[in-house]
Structure 1
Amino acid sequence: MTRILTLLGALAVYAAAGAHHSPNVHFDRSDIVEIAGTLTEIEWRNPHTLLIVETVGDDGSTVVWLGETRASTQLARAGLGPDIFHVGDALLMAGFRGRRNPHAMFVTNVLLTDGRELVAENLAAPRWTQTLAGTALADYQAEKIHSSSATVTGLFRVWSRDGSVSGADDTERALWRDSYPLTEQARADQATWDPVADNPYIHCRNGMPAIMDQGYPLEFVRDGDDILLYLEELDTMRRIHMGADVRAGGADSSPYGHSVGRWDGDTLEVTTTDIDWPWFDQSGIRQTDALHLVERFTPSADGRTLNYGLTATDPAIFTEPVELGRTWIWVPGEAIRPYNCEWDREDL
């Protein structure tokens, strides 16, 4: 029989609003379900690994559940590979129920056939046992930091989201505010926002400034006089033109815009314009081609933290400049991994 437990309450888990494919779009964080069934299909991929599980309903019929869980790159950093799952496994799973499909779930916890529990999100807690599969991101990072005696300064290296710190509202949100000084037109646009039909983020697409909320590592690399900023999510590369005119005349218009940098001491200041991307974040704020961004990347004196500040100006949507900020940490030995985003499910 299918076991379903509905809990009306909060579980401190992942929301990643404004990054790539937010569970909040398709799944209801306040509706936690638990099922027991047989694994029939696995898709090991980004942005989310897909587990298809068959259960038996109360009337004896077969019920197919679609379970999305952590990205394959996140599972790999936890020390786990595709062989953690096998077709035919009897699994116990818990997570957020789908908003449109009641038999879809964003999986936060999985009890495996060997008795170990996969806590399938960085901010979730064990549900059934303390015998866990894999390593939490914070523990993975701490082991790398404590086992290294290397000392590095400056900007040019890989930086990671700090897995030990929860963001806004106990989620992985690192950049966004809860409210903005919106114009009347921006509020009207936001009121008609459909987070599924109007949301390009769920189809492996992103742009500025939303990509800077991504929860994966990033890396700064010199390329002649320019600087390349690689972001693991969506295999993104931003070119920062050093010493060039801020205005590009639309020649480099793209979802990530045209970026020009300059040094202010140890701080890299980047001005970005010509952004061809419709949404400021995933809350329905429709930005315009007048959006002007100024970013400041400042490594800490001890070289362990990268501080980030962003000033966004767009008179069509904001009544005053908007200030945002976040941090990354240096994890010795971390590297950018291929993302290879795949998402083609319309049945969630």
Structure 2
Amino acid sequence: MRSISCAAGIAGLAVAAGAAAHHSHASLDRNNPQTKAGVVAEYLWKVPHVYLIVDVPDENGEVVQYTVESMNPPSLARLGWSADTFRPGDPIILHGAHDRDPDRPYMGLDWAQSVDGPRMFADRRQLEAYLEETGAEPPSGSIVDAEVPPAETFPSGFWTRTVSPYREPPADMPLNDTGKALVAEFHESQNPLNECIYPGPPRMMMMPMAYNFRWEDDDTIIIDRDLWPQPRVVHMNADTAPQAEPSAWGYSTGRFEDDTLVIETTDFIDDRWGIQIGLHSSYQKHLVERYWLEENGMALKGEFTITDPGYLSEPMVIQHSWAKVADRPILQAECSMEAAWLYITAGYNEDEYEVPVTLPQQ
């Protein structure tokens, strides 16, 4: 049985000369922050990332349309953003890293501000530093100062991952020949989320955003997460649990072993990236998850044991962890092919990529 810790950092994909062979952040020059003033043409509050399309006059008075990338909707919502923060026609000031190509109208966003609105940051640390420096009030709806009480029991509360995310398939997975061939052809543009397809567990449990664990009733635990199309259901009484058709999310039953929640999931279908980034899972997948509290209720630990002869040569164990965060409503936002295209390419054309890329249809 092979064990993998998600805490191990993995280097990102190499960036191609000229055009990124990675998603849009890779095209930005962090050493070239710029401030632009213009008018909002579009505000895309969508998944995977939020974008502002802004008409910016250049030094000759000609209008250049800039595409400005921010973060995902739940991350921004914690900083006070909403679907109504900006509207077409709003005058706006933007600050952020410019594209590596100085002639390309593409930027990442540090902050944006309309004429009569607060300065809206895309990064929590930058927001906190600004508030401390200026004494300004946090944006309405933000939870930067929210109290985070410990979890006294489990399941309960909201949690976000504390491990470094993988940017490519981990090197030490116990793959069979099918798995090795699949991973050898990996490219980030293959991410099923770019086509609004949500993989099942365990991959679904290792994503960013906030997870909420709660009792629905005496026989049912609900696991929900920002942006999921529906919550995950864990049946705690197998005798009374309803039957269901096989699916990417499978059929989950649970039990407690002392203070550890154990979830066993079967009845899967073939699932893209259903095990780990770049690694599919088959209908033969069998998953056992274990969850327990540590650090006086402020940390949640997890262990996933995956058996899948379709892609693995032996069972694989993945360790994961989450930190307690403030309670708030689960956030939903539309998944958009347009936003996915921008996220993958930073606006580059398909033939400008160093590696073959199949872009989602807009």
- Above 0.5 in TM-score? yes
Distance 1:132 1:49 in 2: 27
Equivalence for 1:3: none
Distance 2:136 2:238 in 1: 50
Q: Is the 8 A contact 1:312 1:323 kept in 2?
A: yes
Kindly indicate whether residue 200 of structure 2 is the aligned counterpart of residue 201 of structure 1.
no
Q: Map 1:61-100 onto structure 2 (within 5 A).
A: 62-81=63-82, 84-85=85-86, 87-95=89-97, 97=99
Equivalence for 1:256: 249
| Compared CA separation, residues 240 and 68, structure 1 to 2 (3 A) | same
TM normalised by structure 2 equals: 0.69
| Compared CA separation, residues 90 and 325, structure 1 to 2 (3 A) | same
Q: Map 1:220-235 onto structure 2 (within 5 A).
A: 220-235=214-229
| Compared CA separation, residues 234 and 97, structure 1 to 2 (3 A) | farther
Distance 1:53 1:232 in 2: 27
Equivalence for 2:360: none
Equivalence for 1:186: 179
Counterpart pick for 2:316 among 312, 315, 322: 322
Give the gaps of 5 or more residues in structure 2.
Answer: 1-11, 13-19, 348-362
Structure 1 residue identity aligned to 2:301: N
Counterpart pick for 1:27 among 24, 29, 32: 24
Distance 1:173 1:159 in 2: 22
Q: Is the 8 A contact 1:235 1:340 kept in 2?
A: no
RMSD between aligned alpha carbons? 4.1
**How much does 1:238 deviate?**
1.3
SS at match of 2:74: helix
| Compared CA separation, residues 284 and 71, structure 1 to 2 (3 A) | closer
Distance 1:203 1:326 in 2: 26
Q: Map 1:1-348 onto structure 2 (within 5 A).
A: 26-29=23-26, 31-32=28-29, 34=33, 36-38=36-38, 39-56=40-57, 62-81=63-82, 84-85=85-86, 87-95=89-97, 97=99, 103-105=105-107, 107-112=108-113, 118-122=120-124, 131=134, 140=143, 143-145=146-148, 152-161=151-160, 167-168=163-164, 177=170, 179-196=172-189, 198-208=190-200, 209-214=202-207, 215-244=209-238, 251-276=244-269, 277-280=271-274, 283-300=277-294, 302-331=296-325, 334-345=327-338, 346=341, 348=347
SS at match of 2:261: strand
Greater RCO structure (CA 8 Å; 6+ sep): 2
**Aligned residue pair count:** 308
TM normalised by structure 1 equals: 0.71
Distance 1:131 1:85 in 2: 23
| Compared CA separation, residues 24 and 62, structure 1 to 2 (3 A) | same
Equivalence for 1:19: none
Percent identical pairs in the alignment equals 23
